[in-house]
Amino acid sequence: MATAREVKLRIRSVKNIAQITRALQAVSASKVQRAIATVEATRPYATKAWEVLTHIANQPGRDQMHPLMTRRTEVKNVLVALITSDRGLAGPYNTNILRYTFRKFDDYPVPVHYVTIGRKGREILHRRGKHIVADFSGVPDRPKFADVSHIGHLLVEEFLSGKADEIYLVYTDFVNMLRQNPTSKKLLPLEVEDAGRVQDFAPTAGHKPLAAYIYEPDEVEILNEIVPRFTQLQVFHAILESQASEHAARMVAMKNATDNASELADALQLEYNKARQQSITSEMLDIAGGAEALAQAMAAAARKAAGG
């Protein structure tokens, strides 16, 4: 049994930990809100760009599609952009997204290359011997579009140069504070028929694109302008969703840690009380024993004096 003093020290350190985890919990909670607000801010552009894209793509009599929107007949290489966090202590966040990635792409029929966004993913992929084309760790906490647009730029280049025939974006979709889903989405070629995406950027109702547009200078130029931006925007969007998820996961993990720490502190407090009780008891026994011995010695002395 530990002494009262030792237990007291442990209680203090556990309480300190609880204080830190509680602070981290509060910080993460506010970061989730901010990330969600930023996601919302990307919506007007995304909705409008999507509307214009589908409109041009669905024009009758279009002889050739934009290169970024053309599905390749033979897929020889696949590129996966994987978004994880730079920092740990985020509960199951990184494990979940990595497990999802490996389940989906480990037995893929064609070679898979990776672009990692986030240090944790890079480390694990590296350890597993995956081929990493590029790494974009250290995305700032409150990214602006300009901070991450180069990632989308690189992905577009990889696709256009033919190094990758399909590009997937693997990220964590933020559902709510308690639920974050690992998700993947085909980034390129951009498929406008893709129903899943329409859900994301559904145009506002009653706002059908008009039939006949004047194009200036021409459709191809307009697509050249919009498609890469839209791709970058999707990457930006995914990063924000992932960050919201990361912070939510961290918040929950920190809440659990705080709860555990208080529980432990309570248990230790009991132990401390017991130890304290015990030391008092033994001290009292010592005193009582000493007093008894003293009394006996005195009685013996008194008897000796009386008898002598």
Partner 1 sequence: MPIRCEIVSQDRMVWSGEADMVVVPGAGGEMGILPNHAPLLSTLKPGFIKVVRNGEEEVFTVTGGVVEVRPDKVTVLADASEHVAEIDVQRAEAARKRAEELLKKTPPSAAEHLAAQAALQRARIRLEAARRFRPKRGPQIQSGPAEDED
> Which CB atom, from 102 or from 145, has the smaller least distance to partner 1?
145
Q: How many CB atoms are closer than 10 A to CB 153?
A: 14
Question: Going edge to edge, which strands form the sheet with 132-135?
Answer: 132-135, 112-117, 78-83, 166-176, 179-188
The two structure tokens encoding residue 58: 């669905």
- Give the shortest CB-52-to-partner 1 separation in angstroms: 6
Cα separations in angstroms, 265 against 15, 199, 252, 254: 7, 48, 20, 16
Q: Using an 8 Å Cβ cutoff, are 120 and 94 in contact? A: yes
- Give the shortest CB-202-to-partner 1 separation in angstroms: 16
Out of 100, 102, 105, 145, the residue judged to bind partner 1 by CB under 8 A: 145
- Give the shortest CB-155-to-partner 1 separation in angstroms: 16
> Which CB atom, from 60 or from 217, has the smaller least distance to partner 1?
217
* Phi/psi of residue 115, nearest 5 degrees: -115, 125
Q: How many CB atoms are closer than 10 A to CB 212?
A: 5
> Which CB atom, from 166 or from 241, has the smaller least distance to partner 1?
241
Out of 1, 109, 129, 146, the residue judged to bind partner 1 by CB under 8 A: 146
Quick note: the x/- pattern for partner 1 over 210-249, rule CB under 8 A, is: x-xxxxxx---xx--xx--x--xx--x-------------
> Which CB atom, from 99 or from 150, has the smaller least distance to partner 1?
150
- Give the shortest CB-146-to-partner 1 separation in angstroms: 8
Catalogue the long-range contacts made by 97-100 (C-beta closer than 8 Å, 24 or more residues apart). Answer: 97/121, 97/170, 97/171, 97/172, 97/182, 97/242, 98/124, 99/182, 100/170, 100/182, 100/184
> Which is nearest to 137 in space by CA: 97, 96, 81?
81
Spell 232-253 as b/e; 16+ CB within 10 A means b: bbbbbbbbbbbbbbbbbbbbbb
- Give the shortest CB-215-to-partner 1 separation in angstroms: 5
The answer to whether residue 141 forms part of the interface with partner 1 (CB under 8 A) is no
Burial of 292 (C-beta count, 10 Å sphere; 0-12/13-18/19+): exposed
Cα(101)–Cα(187) distance, rounded to whole angstroms?
Answer: 15
> Which CB atom, from 1 or from 146, has the smaller least distance to partner 1?
146
The answer to whether residue 8 forms part of the interface with partner 1 (CB under 8 A) is no
Out of 18, 24, 35, 52, the residue judged to bind partner 1 by CB under 8 A: 52
Cα(299)–Cα(294) distance, rounded to whole angstroms?
Answer: 8
> Which CB atom, from 45 or from 100, has the smaller least distance to partner 1?
45
Cα(152)–Cα(187) distance, rounded to whole angstroms?
Answer: 10
- Give the shortest CB-73-to-partner 1 separation in angstroms: 30
Q: Which stretch binds partner 1 (CB under 8 A): 38-46, 77-85, 163-171, 286-294?
A: 38-46
- Give the shortest CB-199-to-partner 1 separation in angstroms: 20
Question: Which residues from 183-212 bind partner 1, rule CB under 8 A?
Answer: 210, 212
Out of 5, 20, 44, 302, the residue judged to bind partner 1 by CB under 8 A: 44
Applying CB under 8 A, the residues found at the interface with partner 1 are 38, 41-42, 44-45, 48-49, 52, 56, 144-146, 149, 210, 212-217, 221-222, 225-226, 229, 232-233, 236
